[in-house]
Amino acid sequence: MSKQQLQQTLFLPNDERLITMIPVSKMPRKTNLKKRSSLLCVVLNTVEIPVKVYIYHVKKSDRGDGFKKKMAWLLRDLRMLDGRSADKDTSEFDLHFEKTYKWSASSLEEKETFISSLWRLSHRFLIQKPEFVNIPQRLLEEIKDPHSLGEKAKSVDDISMEGEDYQALSGKEEADLELLMSECQVAISNAEAFTEQLSKQLSVLDGANIHSIMGSEDQVLNLMRLLDDGIREAEMIEDKLDTYDKMLANVKEQMEVMRDKDTLMTVRNTNHQRLLDELQNLVDHLDFDLKYTQALMDGDLTSPAGIVECTQAAQALHSCMNAQIHPSLQRTRAVEEQQKHFKKLAIHFSKRLSHHLNNLFIHQGNEIGETLSRYAGDLKMPQHNSIHKELVIYADLMLWLKNTDETSFHKLSAVYMSNLCKLYTREVMEFMESAKQKLVTTKETKGKHHGASTLSRLTGSTTSLTKIDHRGRSGSIQSVDSSSIKYGSDLDIAMRSVFDSVLEKVLSELERVCIAEQDFCFKFFHLIDKSSGVDDDQKKEKEASGEAASGDGDADVWVAKQTYSASERQINDQVRSMMAELFPQLEQELDQFLTHADRQDGMYSMYMLVRMSQHVINNQDMGSFLGKTFGNCLIKVKRNFDRYVDVMMQSVRETKVSKKNRCGIISFVHNFEEFANLAENIFRGSDRHADLDKAYSKVVRIIFEQIMRVAQEHQKTPKEVVLMENFHRMYSVLSHLKNPCLENDRKEAKQRYTENLKAYTVNLLGRPLEKLHTFFEGVEARVATGVKPEEVGFQLAYSKQELRKVIKEYPGKEVKKNLEHLNKKVEKQLCEEENLIQVVWHEMQDVFIQQYKYYDELMRRCYPDSNITLEFTMQNVLQFFSDIAQAH
């Protein structure tokens, strides 16, 4: 793009005039980078007053259709122009503004032109000129005094600038030119004629001007005289102004002196006031009331009023010792002496407070230890609300001690944990022993009401139990270990209810005691994490609400008010460590109790799983020591439950059924039904039902397998009957559970029950009409080999005479007799408990009717027009089945 185009598009819209432009490229930091080409433009802005000279860095626009200004600097901000070398020819140069910019011109001539132009412009328009270094002297004009050059230098510079630029026509000039050209029609087509016409007009105008000048000579002389008079008047005014200026100069000097004095007085007064404020602030921060000193030295730490006074004094001392004082003031003698005095007070009061609280911890531990006998007969842990209430008033003093003497604070914490640890260990052991004894005592008491037949499991020995079903049949269940499968005795049911209530009582009491102690430790030892978001105002409100309660009757209210919410209990390792020191035997004692109960009855593991899970959920948000302890015990309880399920499965595998009697419902199917009913009551509404679902799935699979095994091994009862009855019972149990996880098992049980019902029915129905059934099987076989149905009767073995002989052997009375015999056999093989006799009988009726219809159809096809029919009708068959069913 040419200089004129750049002027028109980029600078003219802003009333700027382009003086010089050169193509340049920035010097890259690495030699292997490609140089980026751009322009450096020197522009003169005459609209602004004073006139300003700009240096623009111009680059191509992003669209590539023009140029845009990227950076701009004022020439007056240029500190130095470095030509790199005055002796060697180089196109590189540096411009030093606030930052140094390194450039390389496209040629040496353009660089010299650019530098020369900047030299002239700086000497013409700038008072403070930039420094030009490493530049040949021939480029720099000898301009030491601009006034000495006179008009010559100015004219040369004007000409150079005008010659360097193309001046565009203004709007008015363009309009006048268009008007002139419009007056001459041949201006465009005949330039010579237009030029000649312009020359004639110019001659006419020159003559008119000469005549006008000659006619106005007198007026010019008068004008000159007036100008001379004006000059004389102006000189007189200048003389007067000079006089006034001299007079005002003295006044100005005096005003400046007064201003300086006023400034000094203002600064002095300000410094005095600041000094007074700083000293007053120092006194306010380090002034310690005498009554506070007396309270720290001899204050009463046993009465509430004395404790309040000591607390206020300790807080005031802490404020004085941690006052924000300027470091220079801290080195003054008065401040150092006062701080030493404060330290002596702090050390003395720290010893007094530590000694008093140390004795108080020991005294409180011994005093509560003497009251343990009050709870010997109750399943309840002693309440420590009284000691908490007595100690909580020292909470602020403990905070002061923690901030002032951390060593003494930790020693007191150790003393508290040591004394309370012994107390809690003894209480937990006695409480757990009482819980175990309550289970034993209750079982012995209830066992007496059930007579000698009640089985005791307290010894945990391995026994073999006999399960009695509802019809008086016995089936032996081999016990694998102490968790023998016995669901339904009255003693077991009563003891499980007792155990559930005892377990809930144990967990609730432990939770109450641990949470109360944990909340007290939070408040007393100030263990609340800073990230909990509890501000000081909220803490004070809670403390005030806690202190408001008074009297033994309000102890529970005080504990409730001072309990922190879950969001405030951000338990850290320090808190859990303190609780672990206070309750070192808690997890072990609880685990022993759960193990003891599991040995009594394996079913207890389900109660433990549900109850323990509920209490873990109640404490999981706090992340507390108690939540962790219950969580560890829950893992062991889950293992006990899994082991109990494994024992149940092993019992099913080892079940042996007597082969002398009919099978009926197998004992482990009875046991599973009772187990499922009991488990559903235990797990109803619990979040641990998924564990029960897994146990269901494993046990049901084993039961299905063992039903098949028993059906194969049993010799007294047909295989189909064993499968039909037991799968029907399993289908009923699974349907009653309505458990989506067992839906496939329920469908499988129904399918196997249905298949064996049909198989059993079909096998029996071949016997009442055996010869007739055999005859028609032969007829069907002949038809299957390709003999036409109507030709079967011509074969000797299947002639009409043979058919009539077979039919005569089965009159109606004989058929009914055979059906009665078949019904008796069904009653003998099926058990009454499952109520499947009528179902089987109805199924046999349907199958018998289907066979009757099939026989009748074969006779019509194979013996047409023979008028041969069975000696009993369809109505007779229905009546036979109905009479037999009603009779039984």
Alpha-carbon distances of 701 from 210, 485, 653, 742, 748, rounded to whole Å = 134, 18, 11, 10, 11
pLDDT band at 460 (very low <50, low <70, confident <90, very high): very low
pLDDT band at 665 (very low <50, low <70, confident <90, very high): confident
Output the pLDDT for position 606: 92
Other CB atoms within 10 Å distance of the CB of residue 640? 21
Tell me, what DSSP letter sits at residue 656?
A: B
Tell me, what DSSP letter sits at residue 718?
A: -
244: left (phi > 0), else alpha (psi -120 to 50), else beta?
alpha
Q: What is the mean pLDDT of residues 266-275?
A: 88
pLDDT band at 533 (very low <50, low <70, confident <90, very high): very low
Q: State whether residue 41 is helix, strand or coil.
A: strand
Determine the Cα–Cα distance for residues 177 and 162; give it in Å rounded to an integer. Answer: 22
Q: What is the pLDDT of residues 398-433, one digit of tens each?
A: 999 999 888 999 999 999 999 889 889 988 998 999
Q: What percent of the chain has pLDDT over 70?
A: 82
Q: What is the pLDDT of residues 800-817, one digit of tens each?
A: 888 888 888 888 887 788
| Whether 723 contacts 836, CB under 8 Å | no
Averaged pLDDT of the chain: 79
Distance from the first to the final alpha carbon of the chain: 120
Output the pLDDT for position 744: 94
Determine the Cα–Cα distance for residues 630 and 636; give it in Å rounded to an integer. Answer: 10
Backbone dihedral angles phi then psi of residue 805, each to the nearest 5 degrees = -60, -45
Q: Which of 102-116, 493-507, 516-530 has the lowest mean pLDDT?
A: 516-530
Residue of higher predicted confidence among 267 and 549: 267
Q: What is the pLDDT of residues 15-70, one digit of tens each?
A: 889 999 999 988 765 545 555 678 999 999 877 777 889 999 999 887 777 888 88
Sorted by sequence, the CB contacts under 8 Å of residue 296 that are 6+ apart come out as: 310, 313, 314, 317, 345, 348, 349
Backbone dihedral angles phi then psi of residue 537, each to the nearest 5 degrees = -65, -40
Determine the Cα–Cα distance for residues 727 and 298; give it in Å rounded to an integer. Answer: 87
Full-prediction pTM beyond 0.95?
no
Tell me, what DSSP letter sits at residue 563?
A: P
Output the pLDDT for position 454: 38
Place of tokens 């149940």: 648
Q: What is the pLDDT of residues 298-348, one digit of tens each?
A: 989 889 999 999 999 888 888 888 877 778 777 788 888 888 888 998 899
Q: State whether residue 93 is helix, strand or coil.
A: strand
What Rg do the C-alpha atoms of the chain give, in angstroms? 59
pLDDT band at 768 (very low <50, low <70, confident <90, very high): low
Determine the Cα–Cα distance for residues 59 and 368; give it in Å rounded to an integer. Answer: 90
Output the pLDDT for position 884: 75
Output the pLDDT for position 383: 84
Determine the Cα–Cα distance for residues 503 and 505; give it in Å rounded to an integer. Answer: 5
**Closest CA relative to residue 739, chosen from 683, 777, 789:** 683
Residue of higher predicted confidence among 167 and 380: 380
Alpha-carbon distances of 373 from 368, 369, 435, 440, 830, rounded to whole Å = 10, 9, 16, 21, 64
| Whether 119 contacts 113, CB under 8 Å | no
Determine the Cα–Cα distance for residues 201 and 883; give it in Å rounded to an integer. Answer: 150
- Note the helical H segments in 405-489: 406-449
Alpha-carbon distances of 754 from 363, 452, 645, rounded to whole Å = 78, 44, 29
pLDDT band at 116 (very low <50, low <70, confident <90, very high): very high
Helix then strand then coil, in percent of the chain rounded to 5, is: 70, 5, 25
Determine the Cα–Cα distance for residues 339 and 337; give it in Å rounded to an integer. Answer: 5
Output the pLDDT for position 145: 44
pLDDT band at 446 (very low <50, low <70, confident <90, very high): low
Place of tokens 């130095």: 80
Q: What is the pLDDT of residues 829-873, one digit of tens each?
A: 787 776 777 787 788 888 888 888 888 888 888 888 788 888 787
Determine the Cα–Cα distance for residues 45 and 47; give it in Å rounded to an integer. Answer: 6
Q: State whether residue 21 is helix, strand or coil.
A: strand
Q: State whether residue 19 is helix, strand or coil.
A: strand
Output the pLDDT for position 49: 77
